[in-house]
Amino acid sequence: MKELAIKELLYKMADDLLILGHRNSEWTGIGPILEEDIAFSSMAQDKVGQSWALYKMLQVLGEQEPDTVAFTRNAPQFHSCKFVELPIGEYDFSLVRHFLFDTADLLRFDLLSRSSYTPLAQLATKIKGELKYHTMHANTWIKQLGSVEDEEAFQRMQYALDVALPFALGIFEEGPYEQSLADEKIFAGEVHLKSLWLEKIQETLSKTRLVLGDVSLISPELGGRYGQHTEFLQPLLDEMTEVFKVDPTAEW
């Protein structure tokens, strides 16, 4: 039971990071300015690296090797939330998603740095600074664009936030082992994480003109954790695995 619970937790975290890492890497070469293109691409690469570390942990628990797990499954076998698979859209949406997801990710790993499951606690401690930069980047952009005088820029950010919110709430879809993870002091749970997240994003948004919708009135986009995805995930997987499938034994 405990091992199943750990695997479920690791899979959803790893899949979120792999899929969002791949999505964000789609900006490489076409970012808004050179400097941001490089910064966003670097962070996308960090996310794929973090997913690799989690898949590696799963391998120790008896799952297949990271490349196999990452590149040979189909959409229904992915535990990522729907939020991360949505297309990159315009840069406003990608930035808002980066802000909402990475804030949750930083808080999640912060909770996990005190996890009774040592490998996860060690990884969380190790990548703390990496995640700090990611949220520093997101918060600085949100403050910048959320406070601009330019009405079009502001409206676009607000619209992106409104579109993203139901999907962002789907990050916190509860899994089948919440109680057991909490009892074993492995992870405090999605409900707890969500309340920390709401507080944190409100804190950043309060420094801007952006307004967060009433979360209690929004129905979250759920299902991702149980393999139910939008029509956007399978095409992403097909594209991501295209080169791998040409020669699965190739060494890079």
26 binds another protein (CB under 8 A): yes
Residue pair 15/69 in contact (Cβ under 8 Å)? The answer is no
Q: Does the footprint of another protein cover residue 34 (CB under 8 A)? A: yes
Among residues 1, 3, 30, 151, the one that binds another protein under rule CB under 8 A: 30
- Give the Cα separation of 45 and 93 in Å (integer): 19
The single residue among 128, 185, 207, 209 that binds another protein, judged by CB under 8 A, is 128
What is the DSSP code string of 105-119? Answer: HHHHHHHHTT-SSHH
Under the binding rule (CB under 8 A), the answer on residue 132 touching another protein is: yes
Which of 151, 217, 246, 252 touches another protein by CB under 8 A?
252
| Among the residue ranges 75-83, 94-102, 132-140, 196-204, the one whose residues contact another protein (CB under 8 A) | 132-140
By CB under 8 A, the residues from 90 to 119 that bind another protein are none
Of the candidates 137, 161, 159, the residue with the CA atom closest to the CA atom of residue 47: 137
84 within 8 A of 23, measured Cβ to Cβ = yes
Name which of 29 and 62 has its Cβ closer to another protein. Answer: 29
Confirm or reject binding of residue 140 to another protein (CB under 8 A).
yes
Contact 78, 227 (CB under 8 A): yes
> Which of 4, 32, 65, 87 is the binder for another protein (CB under 8 A)?
87
Give whichever of 49 and 248 is closer to another protein, judged by the CB atom: 49
Nearer to another protein, 150 or 214 (CB): 150
3-state secondary structure 42-95: HHHHHHHHHHHHHHHHHHHCCCCCHHHHHHCCCHHHCCCCHHHHCCCCCHHHHH
Q: At what angle do helices 128-146 and 190-205 cross, to 10 degrees?
A: 40
- What whole-number distance in Å separates Cα of residue 59 and Cα of residue 200? 33
| Interface residue with another protein, options 3, 129, 214, 217 (CB under 8 A) | 129
Three-state SS at 209: coil
Please identify which residue in 31, 45, 232, 234 interacts with another protein, judged by CB under 8 A: 45
Question: Which residues 191-230 are close enough to bind another protein by CB under 8 A?
Answer: none
Cβ contacts of 166 within 8 Å, gap of 6 or more = 218, 219, 220, 221
Query: Do 177 and 5 contact (CB within 8 A), yes or no?
Result: yes
Among 114, 126, 185, 245, binds another protein (CB under 8 A): 126
Any contact of residue 127 with another protein (CB under 8 A)?
yes
Give the residues lining the site for another protein (CB under 8 A): 26, 30, 33-36, 38-39, 42-43, 45, 49, 87, 126-130, 132-133, 136-137, 140-141, 144, 239, 251-252
